Amino acid sequence: MGIEFSRGGRKMSSNDFFKGIMDDAVKNAISSYAETLHGKASSVVDPETGKHAPVFVRSIGKEKLTIHTSGSAAFAHALEQRLGLNHGEVRSMNEPGNRERLVYLAHAWEDKHLAKPLAEGLMGLGINVWYDNWEIGSGDSLRRKMEEGLGNCTHFIVLLTETSIKKNWVNEEIDAGLMNAVEGSAKFIGLRHKLPLSAVSPFLKTRLTPEFQPGDEGLHALASDIYGVSKKPPLGEKPRYVETHQSGSTWSAGARVVAEYFVRNSENGQPLEPMATHEEIHQETGLPIPDVRIGTLDLVGAGLLEEHGYNGGDSHFSPKSDLFATFDGDFMDWKPDEDARDLAVHLLNLDTQQADASEVSESLGWQARRFNAAAAYLVSARVVKPIEYMGGGDHWPPAFMLGDELLRFVRSL
């Protein structure tokens, strides 16, 4: 008689059986390591406030962890020292990102028929452009004005044509733009128009030099990567996928748009709701597919989205509970971090070791959608431990285990 293998009441091959055991072992090891890291991190106080700040240790895939904190950048650095990590491995969620962007548009005079519509089109999409016809007036020093534009620009765009690459003046601008790129002060983009890649210099071949696409498609591709406020002639209405996403956070614009999609389309703020493909997100948000792909990649990498692959079909993406704890405050009428403090105090006042989520939600007068985001915040920060069971209803988790971590969190408020 042969040996039958089964897991969870389901029969399977010996290979699948032993693979399942190995996967469980890896998962348990990663979970144990995450608990160890979080235990060490929780003993560190923010040097700027003297209080314990929430720390989020999240799993990415099967074998990776990422660490974020809502504390200061100094706290993130202190965590790296305490945990023996390299600089940059702990990310502060409050880093500034509000530098105004300015595009410097370099071109040959003979290419004005391409440059002017490009400049006007970018302006019409809300992008500030340095264009010589607008910047240089009678009596102005051409070189001084150009140096001012080059010195302030955050994005350097040059129209690469058979004519422009032969112009000494344009090549001087390219050299300046490349120097800014090397120094990290500006991003270099060379737009090739009817010019093969083989025709540009070896150094330019190592830089971003896409084919120039006149019209809306090309303009929107640039607009998704470059965004700024201008004092130039009236700007057009900003694209929908950019308008509500201001600078000031460490998330990419694409990641914020994708996150907003899941936040606004989730009924109860639970894991796995909703599920969507790249195309479905693109259709509802208007975000170009390349930016949808990058945005979902950012969120998967941060441990906030989960990718589900299907044989012969497109991948689907679904939110983890941490996504709502992270982004509800940007797009909903409540702040999960503030609600989490109120929820923690309420739980501590219950003076019990276990609490039912639906009962607590009702006593606070919160709908499940709002309650779940605050609960996810506390679970992710290891302030409370989730108790999961079938039939948990609209609340996740359906119940909590409460301990001294809750006491420490409340005492640090």
At 375-388, the pLDDT tens digits run 999 999 999 999 98
Alpha-carbon distance values, 124 to 221, 232, 386 (Å)? 14, 11, 50
- What's the mean pLDDT in 395-406? 91
pLDDT score of 317 more than 50: yes
Using the predicted structure, report yes or no on whether residue 85 has a pLDDT greater than 70: yes
Integer Cα distance of 96 and 329 in angstroms: 17
Read off the pLDDT band of 389 (50, 70, 90).
confident
Q: What is the pLDDT of residue 409?
A: 93
Residue 390 predicted with pLDDT over 70? no
Q: How far is CA 305 from the centre of its chain?
A: 11
Tell me the residue length of the chain.
413
Token representation of residue 82:
């305490």
Q: Is it the case that residue 232 has pLDDT exceeding 60?
A: no
pLDDT at 247 over 60: no
Residue type, 398: P
**312-325: average pLDDT:** 89
- Lowest mean pLDDT of 51-55, 314-318, 356-360, name the range: 51-55
pLDDT score of 37 more than 90:
no
Assigned token pair, 113:
């028929």
239 closest CA partner among 214, 255, 219, 258: 219
Helix H or strand E encompassing 294: helix 289-301
Name the percent of the chain lying above pLDDT 70: 74
Helix (H) or strand (E) holding 130: strand 129-130
The residue ranking higher by pLDDT, 270 or 246, is 270
